[in-house]
Amino acid sequence: AMLARAALRTVATPSARLFSSSAARQTKVAVLGAGGGIGQPLSLLLKNEPLVTSLSLYDIRGAPGVAADVSHVDTGSEVTGYAADQLDQALEGVEVVVIPAGVPRKPGMTRDDLFNTNASIVRDLAAAVGRVSPSAHILVISNPVNSTVPIVAATLEKAGVFDPRRLFGITTLDVVRAQRFLAGLVESDPAKTPVTVVGGHSGATIVPLLSQSAYGKAVTGEKYEKLVHRIQFGGDEVVKAKDGAGSATLSMAYAGARFTSALLKGLNGEKGVVTPTFVKSPLFADQGIDFFSSPVELGPNGVEKIHPIGPISAEEEKLLKACLPELKKNIEKGKAFAA
């Protein structure tokens, strides 16, 4: 009898989950660059995401293999892999497209050094999304994010299908790092140590708003300076440690899945889903900066509401002052390329 009860329990869990997810909206998600360092673990994490009902994996190499592998994980979603010449098929009926395609940094490089290679990769993928699945939400991971997001916007604009509510640069890794590094310093639980990070995604354009957190406010002086530097240059730590083999992939896959999951909750009608993301934004548009990351409420149409950055300290004013001109240059470079 005990065995039977145990068997019943193991059956009850997945069917309960199937029931709740079939009651929810069906969502087809594509990963472009699914064979890569980020793409593979991101595909795995998305296979485990109950709001994803179908997973479409594309890369110029390796995606069918990744798809066959991931498809054996016993969750409800269907997984299909697409070869290099099957981009259009991969995008058919897709509502959310996550893009980690492109080359990563090696030691000594800045993210902007990736521009020459990644700008055209992202432009071409965005053009395909605009053609095949023009109402899809596009989540950009490929660096330099400060430039690739404006490139996607301009490409969709040219095709006449740009909706700013459906384009996101994923800056979640900066938030993840800020939470982890601050929690380590003050010995708190990272899950209970949220930090808002605004601006862009590279060096000085990354602006952590530690003064908005009770834990963060307590960090001052040299400790504060070091913490800010670590949040802004956390990517370099990984690039250095990987010693030529690439940049953050696993923590990025985690961050990418976390953001995708937040968007899916919003699309699904959940209220109060707010997270920083790099979007077309009115906040600094009067200074010629029309993309900016600040806390954004996600809803059934994507961007529901762009929140202002809120009250900031004198130190953060300085960080923001350093961020804006660099961010402006990065955005303009992307726009110039797309034009």
Q: What is the distance between the alpha carbons of residues 116 and 198, in angstroms, rounded to a whole number?
A: 26
> In the bound complex, what is the minimum distance in angstroms from residue 235's beta carbon to ligand NAD?
7
DSSP secondary structure letter of residue 260? H
Out of ligand LMR, ligand NAD, none, what residue 170 binds, judged by CB under 5 to 8 A for its kind, is ligand NAD
Which residue number, 258 or 307, has a Cβ lying nearer to ligand NAD?
Answer: 258
Out of ligand LMR, ligand NAD, none, what residue 200 binds, judged by CB under 5 to 8 A for its kind, is none
Q: Cα torsion for 250, 262, 286, 320, to the nearest 10°?
A: -50
Identify the residue among 30, 31, 32, 309 touching ligand NAD (CB under 6 A): 32
Residue 230 touching ligand LMR (CB under 6 A): no
DSSP secondary structure letter of residue 212? G
Site string for ligand LMR, 112-151 (x = CB under 6 A): -------------------------------x--------
Burial 3-36 (b: 16+ CB within 10 A, else e): eeeeeeeeeeeeeeeeeebeebeebbbbbbbbbb
Residue 99 touching ligand LMR (CB under 6 A): no
> In the bound complex, what is the minimum distance in angstroms from residue 238's beta carbon to ligand LMR?
5
> In the bound complex, what is the minimum distance in angstroms from residue 136's beta carbon to ligand NAD?
16
Q: Give the distance, in angstroms, between the CA of residue 36 and the centroid of all CA atoms in the same chain.
A: 15
The DSSP code sequence of 163-198 is -GGGEEE--HHHHHHHHHHHHHHHT--GGG----EE
Residue 74's φ and ψ, nearest 5 degrees, are -85, 60
Q: What percent of the residues of the chain are helix, what percent strand, and what percent coil, each to the nearest 5?
A: 55, 20, 30
Q: Measured on CA atoms in the order 132, 133, 135, 136, is the torsion positive or negative?
A: negative
Q: What is the distance between the alpha carbons of residues 160 and 105, in angstroms, rounded to a whole number?
A: 33
Of the listed pieces 8-16, 59-67, 186-194, 268-276, which binds ligand NAD according to CB under 6 A?
Answer: 59-67
Interface with ligand NAD in residues 140-169 (CB under 6 A): 141-143, 145
Of the listed pieces 19-27, 88-96, 103-111, 264-272, which binds ligand LMR according to CB under 6 A?
Answer: 103-111
Interface with ligand NAD in residues 276-305 (CB under 6 A): none
CB distance 195 to 181 below 8 Å: no
Q: What is the distance between the alpha carbons of residues 53 and 24, in angstroms, rounded to a whole number?
A: 10
Site string for ligand LMR, 247-266 (x = CB under 6 A): xx------------------
User: Catalytic: which of 72, 137, 201, 307?
Assistant: 201
Active site residue 201: yes
Specify the residue for token string 């990744």. Answer: 66
Residue 38 touching ligand NAD (CB under 6 A): yes
Site string for ligand NAD, 231-270 (x = CB under 6 A): ---------------xxxx--x------------------
Token code pair at residue 172: 């979640």
Q: Which residues are catalytic?
A: 201
Binding site for ligand NAD (CB under 6 A): 32-33, 35-39, 59-61, 100-105, 114, 118, 121, 125, 141-143, 145, 170, 173, 201, 246-249, 252
Positions in the binding site for ligand LMR (CB under 6 A): 104-105, 111, 143, 173, 235, 238-239, 247-248
